[in-house]
Chain A
Amino acid sequence: MVCKPGKLWANRKTVSEQNYHRAQLRATRHRCLTSTLGDGPAEHDPSHMIDPDYLRVVRDLAEAKGILNRCAAESTRTARLRLTDLLGIWPETPALMAIPHFHPYLQTVPDSLHVLDGGITERLLLYIGNWLYSRTLQKDDGSYATNWAAVQLVNVRLAASPPQQEFKHFGQPLYAINDDAKASTAHMRIKMAANWRCIEFEAVLPQLAYILKEHTEIVQVLMAYTDLYKTLRDVAPLLKNVTTAMRECAQPHQPPRSCSETQNSILERKSFILKQLFCTAEQDRQALPYPCSCLCPVTKLPSWTCCMRQVQTILGVLGEVGAERDGRRGSVRAQNARCAPHAGVHPAVWRRRQRAAR
C-alpha cells in the first residue's frame, strides 16, 4: 500500500508548521511527525530523532476527529486511507476518542519498563551484540574469536560471573543468533536470548564493562550509559529521587578540557553523552548511508573521548582488570572516579573462590 499525495497535502496548514510542511513539499510518506528531512544535498537528517531538545509535534485532536468523521462518509478504503494518511493514523476511530477530556495522542504515555529497559537499554545491547558479530574478540586464553564466537564469548563470560542479587540470568545466554529470515529483522544477526525484567537490565549493565574489556570505546559508551541509566531510574519513581536530581541539575558543572563547555549541567551533559553514544555505535557499524559528524569542535576527536570522567573510570578499572580472575573485581576503583553501581562481588563468593584456589 503506497499512498499518493493528494490535494490535501497542498492545502494542509493546520497541525505542523515546519516539519510537516517540509514533508508536504517533498511529498514523502511520513508516519512520524518528527521529520528526518535535512537541508543538505542528502536531504536526510535523522538527528532530530535522538535530539531531546527538538520539539515534537503532537497530533491535533480536533483535526483527527474531523478527519475520522469524514472517513465515515467515504465508501472506499483507499479514500479513507488517503484522508488519514495526513496524520499518519488509520481510518478506524479508536475507542479512546470517546473518553471526555482525554487526548489520546498526548496522554498516552509509555511505561518505564518499555522505554528504558526493554527500549533503549535493550537496543543498546543489541547494537553491541551486532557490533561484536562484525568484530574480533580476544579470548582469555589468547586466541581470537570472530562473528558468533565473539558474541558467544560474552555469554560464556557472563555465565562465569559470580551470582548477583535479584539477577537470575547470569547462567543463561545474553545473546542468541537470529535465524529469522524476515526482511524486517534479517539484518540483525544477533538478538536477545530472552526477555528480561528491569532489575536484570540494571544488574547486567555494569557487568558488561568487564566482559567487553578489550573494546575500550564500547566500555566507555557502556559506562556513560550506565551512569545515565542509573540517573533515569532514580529520577522516575520517588519524590526523594526527583529532589536529588533537581539538586544535581542545579549543581554547576565543571567542564572538562574539551567540547563539553556547552553543557551547563550534569543532566544536560548526560543527554549529550547519550546522543554521542548512539552516534559512536553507529560509527563503528560503518554501514550507515549518512556520515556521522559527532566530533569535538575543539579537539576534532570523536566526542566520546571527551567524556573524561567515564574515561578515567574505565582506564582505572581496566588498569587493574587483571585482578578479575582473583575475584577482587569489586574492589577495583579508579582514583577520583565513581565506582560502577552493583559492580561488587559478594564477599562470600570471594572467600569461596580463595579457598578453592588454595
Chain B
Amino acid sequence: MLSLDEAMVDRDGRKTLIPVWLSFLNLRAHVRHKDWARQLLGYLPKFHKARWPVGVSDATKRETKRTVRARALRLMLKPILLLSATGVKIELPGRDGVWSTVTAVPIIAYLSVDNKEAKALTHVKDAYRAMPAFCVQCALAKARIHLRTENLYSNRFVPF
C-alpha cells in the first residue's frame, strides 16, 4: 500500500514535505502503523510559489506541477514496477514454521491519501476548496449570494 500526506517539518507550518510511504498490507493494522513496518520511498517535489519565472501563466504552472510530480512518483515506483513484472525470490516462513524460498510478486493494492493528494496524483479535476463540497453548483450559488457579485460569476460556470 502506498500512502502519502503532506506533513509539516517545522512548528509554524511554513516548511512542509510530502513523504511517500510503502507498507505491507498483509500485516495487521496495529503492526503496519509502526515506524519500522513502513518504508519511505522518497519525497514528492514541492514548488515555491514565489520562484516561478515571470510571466508564467497559472495553467502552465499547474501543468508543470502535474508533470514533475508524475515523473518523480514514476521514479520512486520504478523498482516496484520492475519487480512486479518479474517477481523476487525471498525467504519466508511457512505455516509449518519451515523457512523456504518463494517467488513473491509485489502488487500495489491501495493508494491511501487524502482528497487533495488523491486528486493531485490521479490528475482528476478537483473542487476541493469549495466548502460545501457536496455540490459545486450550490457552492457557487452561495458565493454569489454572499458576495453579491453577480457579474463575477454571471452566465458562466467558473472552475475553481
Residues of A within 8 A of B (CB): 1-2, 28-29, 31-32, 36, 44, 46, 49-50, 59, 77, 88-90, 92-96, 98-102, 104-105, 107-111, 113-114, 118-119, 123, 126, 183-188, 237-238, 278, 287-290
Contact = CB atoms under 8 A, between A and B. Distances in A.
Contacts, number: 157
B121 A126 contact: no
Contact of A111 (B3, B108, B131): B3
A77 B63 contact: yes
Contacts of A36: 135-138
B81 interface: yes
A109 B109 CA distance: 10
Contacts of B115: 110, 114, 119
A288 B140 CA distance: 11
Rank and list the top 7 A-B pairs by shortest CB-CB distance, nearest first. Answer: A49-B134, A114-B114, A187-B146, A46-B135, A95-B73, A95-B74, A31-B125
B39 interface: no
B38 to A, nearest CB: 14
B57 to A, nearest CB: 10
B123 A110 contact: no
B5 to A, nearest CB: 8
Given A36-B135, A46-B138, A187-B146, A107 B110 contact: yes
Interface stretch (B47-55, B96-104, B152-160): B152-160
B113 A92 contact: no
Contacts of B111: 96, 104, 107-109
B112 A28 contact: no
Contact of A92 (B63, B72, B81, B109): B63
Contacts of B71: 95
Q: Which among B118, B149, B152 has the greatest number of chain A C-beta atoms within 10 A?
A: B118
A247 B112 CA distance: 28
Q: Is the interface of A mostly helix, strand, loop or mixed?
A: loop
B75 to A, nearest CB: 9
B85 interface: yes
Q: Which among B69, B134, B143, B156 has the greatest number of chain A C-beta atoms within 10 A?
A: B134
A94 B63 contact: no
Q: Which among A59, A88, A108, A278 has the greatest number of chain B C-beta atoms within 10 A?
A: A108
B145 interface: yes
Nearest to B76: A95
Which bucket holds chain B's interface residue count? Answer: 35 or more
B153 to A, nearest CB: 9
Nearest to A81: B59
Interface string B4-42: 010000000000000000000000010000000000000
B1 to A, nearest CB: 9
Contacts of A290: 138
A94 B118 contact: no
A184 B130 contact: yes
Nearest to A44: B137
A31 B126 contact: yes
Contacts of A123: 131-133
Contacts of B70: 92-95
Contacts of A31: 124-127, 136, 159
A44 B74 CA distance: 40
Contacts of B5: 111
B122 A108 contact: yes
29 contacts: A1-B59, A2-B158, A2-B159, A49-B134, A59-B124, A77-B63, A89-B124, A90-B62, A92-B67, A92-B123, A93-B123, A95-B74, A96-B73, A98-B77, A98-B81, A99-B80, A100-B81, A101-B107, A101-B108, A104-B122, A107-B109, A107-B110, A108-B113, A118-B114, A126-B131, A183-B149, A184-B129, A184-B160, A186-B146
A114 B127 CA distance: 16
B46 interface: no
A312 B22 CA distance: 47
Contacts of A98: 74, 77, 81
Given A111-B112, A111-B113, A183 B143 contact: yes
Contact of A288 (B77, B121, B138): B138
Given A110-B113, A187-B147, A287-B145, A32 B127 contact: yes
